[in-house]
């Protein structure tokens, strides 16, 4: 049983102002696996004050000093990777192959990327006689989700540290264990007091206080569009910068070519990864109407091969993260049936032979119309929707007919055609044949948010631009 009842403020583990706790469930067993303290506005204020005090010195450190700190974190992170994997396994039910693989390794990737970017980043640029310089924005409030907990902490914390900002992190209360161990890594690495602070808590108790605090200069939030709107509202009175990575309903246009069957199979498999709990999941697969039956057959076979079960099974996908998430997915699966989509495989309820845990059947719907609920709402579970198109112009029209714009996919053998379609999809990140790049900017159009994370572009969110005129007189 884990018990994390202290917060990390000003370089020390401290008691909450007033102890209030929350039980944390293991979604694989539905049993309590630990508890955390829930922070309050008073705890947030103490953390923000520590970050503000530390900013005076941390913002003036050299590139080399910050590189030394990041290298020290890298050393400690590598020591604790198995502990991080165990935490993700327990808090999310992610199987070892996922928890110890992508979940933990993405955090490591963001750290090494931040180090590489910092080594060569141009903070100063001459513009005639003017010096344009980029300076750390200040104190940052970082609010992270439960679905890729280490990834989202890492892609916020490391650029903030690298650019000279100080911060207060609120990990998700649904998956708080990995955030706790991450903080232990920061502490062991000797990050100066007050530069990094962490307060456990929920949205009403900590998220609101952090996003509305007058001494916070930037709030970076990853989560649902609904919650992102509230963060922006809370931040508006103090005109702080708001960076949001929100929901998605990403199209995957499958081309009518020789790789069609392969493209459908890969797209189905990618949709099921992390039990479908990815904001950029390729949840709307668009296929030629003339090949709909073939797509259905391939998707059915692929989904049938996806094992669901005990997180100790390295080949299985685990449960979804909470009862609330399970109930939402069940409601949306039923909505797909009720609205007339063709249920290819899966459906309501737990998989056969599983009577506890928040496990969802890998589900595929076909003949989905873009006005159906399952095509409009983010399901955030292992549920694929297959829609038909008559030509590529219609495919683009369907792909862009969404409130979201986080990601898009084009799958097929014709690279020239894929490139042309990628330029027409209105989303922030387009993957041709599911390509991946740690340095590529990640973020959304429309109601999927604003700002960018990852790589060099992720640095820019944490920097202010200052013009010093006549700095370089002719």
Backbone angles phi, psi at 126, to 5 degrees: -75, 140
Mean pLDDT of 271-285: 97
| SS3 per residue for 329-382 | HHHHHHHHHHCCCEEEECCCCCCCCCCCCCCCCCEEEECCCCCCHHHHCCCCCC
Domains of the chain in sequence order = 2-246+448-468 (3.40.605.10), 251-438 (3.40.309.10)
pLDDT value of position 391: 98
pLDDT value of position 314: 61
Task: Please say if the pLDDT value at position 365 is more than 80.
Answer: yes
pLDDT digits (tens, 9 = 90+) for 227-262: 999 999 999 999 999 999 999 999 999 999 999 999
Cα-based distances in Å from 350 to 281, 330, 359: 21, 10, 6
Q: At a CB cut-off of 8 Å and minimum separation 6, what does 328 contact?
A: 379, 380, 381
Task: Please say if the pLDDT value at position 334 is more than 80.
Answer: yes
Higher pLDDT, 89 or 316: 89
Task: Please say if the pLDDT value at position 315 is more than 70.
Answer: no
**For residue 473, what pLDDT band results from cuts at 50, 70 and 90?**
confident
pLDDT value of position 216: 98
| SS3 per residue for the chain | CEEECCEEECCEEECCCCCCEEEEEECCCCEEEEEEECCCHHHHHHHHHHHHHHHHHHCCCCHHHHHHHHHHHHHHHHHCHHHHHHHHHHHHCCCHHHHHHHHHHHHHHHHHHHHHHHHHCCCEEEECCEEEEEEECCEEEEECCCCCHHHHHHHHHHHHHHHCCEEEEECCCCCCHHHHHHHHHHHHCCCCCCCEEECCCCHHHHHHHHHHCCCCCEEEEECCHHHHHHHHHHHHHHCCEEEEECCCCCEEEECCCCCHHHHHHHHHHHHHHHHHCCCCCCCEEEEEHHHHHHHHHHHHHHHHCCEECCCCCCCEECCCCCHHHHHHHHHHHHHHHHCCCEEEECCCCCCCCCCCCCCCCCEEEECCCCCCHHHHCCCCCCEEEEEEECCHHHHHHHHHCCCEECEEEEECCCHHHHHHHHHHCCCCEEEECCCCCCCCCECCEECCEECCECHHHHHHCCEEEEEECCCCCC
Task: Please say if the pLDDT value at position 312 is more than 80.
Answer: no
pLDDT value of position 54: 99
pLDDT value of position 163: 98
Task: Please say if the pLDDT value at position 311 is more than 70.
Answer: no
Task: Please say if the pLDDT value at position 75 is more than 70.
Answer: yes
- Positions annotated as catalytic residues are 245, 279
pLDDT digits (tens, 9 = 90+) for 174-204: 999 999 999 999 999 999 999 999 999 999 9
pLDDT digits (tens, 9 = 90+) for 5-50: 999 999 999 999 999 999 999 999 999 999 999 999 999 999 999 9
- pLDDT above 90 covers a percentage of the chain that reads 98
Cα-based distances in Å from 450 to 404, 405, 424: 11, 10, 19
**For residue 374, what pLDDT band results from cuts at 50, 70 and 90?**
very high
Burial class (CB in 10 A: 0-12, 13-18, 19+), 256: middle
pLDDT digits (tens, 9 = 90+) for 404-443: 999 999 999 999 999 999 999 999 999 999 999 999 999 9
The average confidence (pLDDT) of the chain is 97
Task: Please say if the pLDDT value at position 310 is more than 70.
Answer: no
């Amino acid at each position: 049983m884990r018990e994390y009842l202290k917060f990390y403020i000003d370089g020390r583990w401290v008691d909450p102002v007033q102890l209030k706790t929350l039980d944390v469930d293991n979604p694989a067993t539905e049993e309590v696996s630990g508890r955390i303290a829930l922070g309050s506005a008073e705890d947030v204020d103490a953390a923000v004050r520590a970050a503000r005090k530390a900013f005076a010195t941390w913002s003036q450190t050299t590139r080399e000093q910050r590189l030394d700190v990041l290298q020290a974190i890298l050393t400690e992170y590598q020591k604790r990777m198995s502990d991080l994997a165990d935490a993700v396994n327990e808090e999310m039910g992610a199987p070892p192959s996922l928890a110890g693989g992508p979940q933990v390794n993405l955090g490591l990737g963001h750290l090494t990327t931040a180090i590489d970017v910092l080594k060569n980043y141009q903070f100063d640029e001459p513009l005639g006689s003017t010096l344009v310089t980029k300076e750390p924005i200040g104190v940052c409030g970082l609010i992270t989700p439960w679905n890729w907990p280490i990834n989202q902490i890492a892609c916020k914390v490391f650029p903030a540290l690298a650019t000279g900002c100080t911060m207060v992190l609120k990990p998700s209360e649904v998956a708080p264990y990995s955030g706790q161990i991450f903080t232990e890594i920061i502490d062991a690495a000797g990050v100066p007091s007050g530069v990094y602070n962490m307060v456990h808590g929920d949205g009403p108790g900590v998220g609101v206080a952090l996003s509305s605090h007058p001494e916070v200069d930037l709030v970076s939030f990853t989560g649902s569009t609904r919650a992102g709107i509230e963060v922006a509202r809370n931040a508006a009175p103090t005109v702080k910068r708001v960076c949001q990575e929100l929901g998605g309903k990403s199209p995957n246009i499958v081309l009518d070519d020789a790789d069609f069957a392969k493209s459908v199979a890969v797209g189905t498999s990618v949709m099921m990864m992390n039990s479908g709990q990815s904001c950029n999941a390729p949840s709307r697969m668009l296929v030629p109407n003339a090949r709909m039956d073939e797509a259905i057959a391939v998707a059915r076979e692929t989904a049938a091969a996806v094992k669901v079960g005990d997180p100790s099974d390295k080949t299985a996908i685990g449960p979804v993260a909470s009862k609330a998430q399970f109930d939402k997915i069940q409601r949306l699966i039923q909505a797909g049936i009720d609205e007339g989509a063709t249920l290819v495989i899966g459906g309501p309820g737990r998989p056969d032979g599983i009577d506890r845990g928040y496990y969802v059947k890998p589900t595929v719907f076909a003949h989905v119309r873009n006005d159906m609920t399952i095509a409009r709402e983010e399901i955030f579970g292992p549920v694929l929707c297959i829609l038909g198109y008559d030509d590529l112009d219609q495919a683009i029209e369907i792909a862009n007919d969404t409130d979201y714009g986080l990601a898009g996919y084009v799958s097929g053998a014709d690279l020239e055609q894929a490139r042309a379609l990628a330029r027409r999809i209105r989303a922030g990140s387009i993957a041709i044949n599911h390509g991946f790049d740690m340095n590529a900017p990640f973020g959304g159009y429309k109601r999927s948010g604003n700002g960018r994370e990852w790589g060099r572009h992720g640095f820019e969110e944490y920097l202010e631009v200052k013009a010093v005129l006549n700095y370089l007189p002719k």
